[in-house]
Amino acid sequence: MVSTHNRLKQTKEKLVSPLKIHRKLASKKNDDLEMGDSDERLLTLEATDSGLTSTVGELVEQLRLINLVLGSVSATRQGRSQRRRRLKKKWVMEVDGDDDVSVFDDSNFDMAATAAATFSVASMATCGGERVKSKPFGMKFNSPSYLKGFSGLKATTSVSCESDTSFAGKESTAALRATFAPRAQKQTQGVENHFQPEASTFKVAVLGAAGGIGQPLALLIKMSPLVSALHLYDIANVKGVAADLSHCNTPSQVLDFTGQAELANSLKGVDVVVIPAGVPRKPGMTRDDLFNINASIVKNLMEAVADNCPDAFIHIISNPVNSTVPIAAEVLKQKGVYDPKKLFGVSTLDVVRANTFVAQKKNLKLIDVDVPVVGGHAGITILPLLSKTRPSINFTDEEIEELTIRIQNAGTEVVEAKAGAGSATLSMAYAAARFVESSLRALDGDTDVYECSYVQSELTDLPFFASRIKLGKNGVEAVISTDLQGLTEYELKALEALKPELKGSIEKGVAFAQKKASPAAV
């Protein structure tokens, strides 16, 4: 029997025609080297010559591998020798300007056969937890190992490949992970191996982008690989913010829009609208003190949203969220475009704080902690369900009381600490960016996206209620009702106690929107 190495060598020498990579073994066309549709996950290389038709998958089957696929390329710079010792065999495909394909072993790229594979782009310097994305991915390669950073999000960056079997390549801790469908392209010149993502398809508008929350929020959204265009709107000072952000070397294009006359254009064609517009809290101010000013701002902006992008996901940050979300809903109803699945009050900051405080109190890793927070987004309407904390944790009565009160008053804690210089702008921007990213993942087809949000709900007798939801391409796919089952006595009492205040805030918002409605809208 001819050895595998010799058969590969023979194949390399006899290749005289261009190859095409197909999903199925049956395809035997002679075209330029390319990869098919972006949703392909299992790809097999076929080699055709004048006298012999064979597949590389057959050759490596003796190594108990299934198919040779491009998806099992590893191009990490570090730990190469250690990783190679763990691999049973290495194969590399090299494409040159003559359309010849060489298949040999022990070179710059490690290839292993697999039945299913994913690309991962990892960065040790971004975000706080793992995020999985699905994006088309184009790969060009030729000779020496050099790896371009993905979307500028890197400190130490690596690209690895994992499969249902086993594969090395986890040298760095993934802080941001992206899942790609591979597509091979010819590289006719140059000497670098680089990975370049295709342009993303989602447009995001930030209304109030020049404010204390809007600026850091815009920066964080600009870092997302899922954003192709970032529209920044404010009544003033937004041009400078846009110019500053446009220098960041991430793919999304930044456009600025100033004043009422440009509001409509800022919203055309966007997929996600984020509204942090409004006045900030000051010492001694409650969220209700903000109502009269911010309610009018939200109503005005929502009328423009209804007219220009009624199908977009709408994220309301402007406080008091307990009232501004009902206002937004009423405006959309008056315009005849209300979709309760696409209107969200961003209460993510309550979850972020709960996770942080619990992890600190119990000396846990933040990435492991998840505390659902229900109710509303102000004072006693914020109810962290500590009994539902994951992982399961035992709290004393004193700890429950202390943590609950701190989470409810965390906003005031920041306002007082800043002594009149602002409110919780940075943590709010971080939390809002997390929710935007989750929405983009859902729009992109991720089927495992859960967040807490203040939405129209039937969990209680209140029309709006914050709870865990599952996000999908069309917005809210499910409200997680199990979080309200099996509550402790403390949580049940707190749940009943928050309802009157939350109900009053909802009714206040509805009354404002209906009172301000134009006769034509009514």
Catalytically active residues are: 377
**Residue 72: what are its φ and ψ, rounded to 5°?**
-105, 25
> Apex CA 326: angle with CA 496 and CA 434, to 5°?
85
Strands 117-123 and 157-163, how do they pair?
A: antiparallel
Query: Backbone dihedral region of 363: left (phi > 0), alpha (psi from -120 to 50 degrees) or beta?
Result: left
3-class DSSP assignment, residue 257: strand
Q: What is the CA radius of gyration of the chain?
A: 27
Give the whole-angstrom CA distance, residue 17 versus residue 47.
9
Give the whole-angstrom CA distance, residue 157 versus residue 440.
23
**Residue 272: what are its φ and ψ, rounded to 5°?**
-135, 130
Residue whose token pair is 């300007």: 97
**Residue 345: what are its φ and ψ, rounded to 5°?**
-90, 125
Read off the tokens for 89. Answer: 């065999």
Q: Pseudo-torsion of CA 468, 471, 475, 476, nearest 10°?
A: -40
Its sign, for the CA torsion 394, 398, 401, 406, is negative
Give the whole-angstrom CA distance, residue 245 versus residue 206.
13
Q: What is the DSSP letter of 390?
A: B
Give the whole-angstrom CA distance, residue 311 versus residue 247.
30
3-class DSSP assignment, residue 506: helix
Pick from 169, 69, 71: nearest CA to 122:
169
Give the whole-angstrom CA distance, residue 333 versus residue 518.
13
Task: Report residue 91 CA to chain centroid gap.
Answer: 34
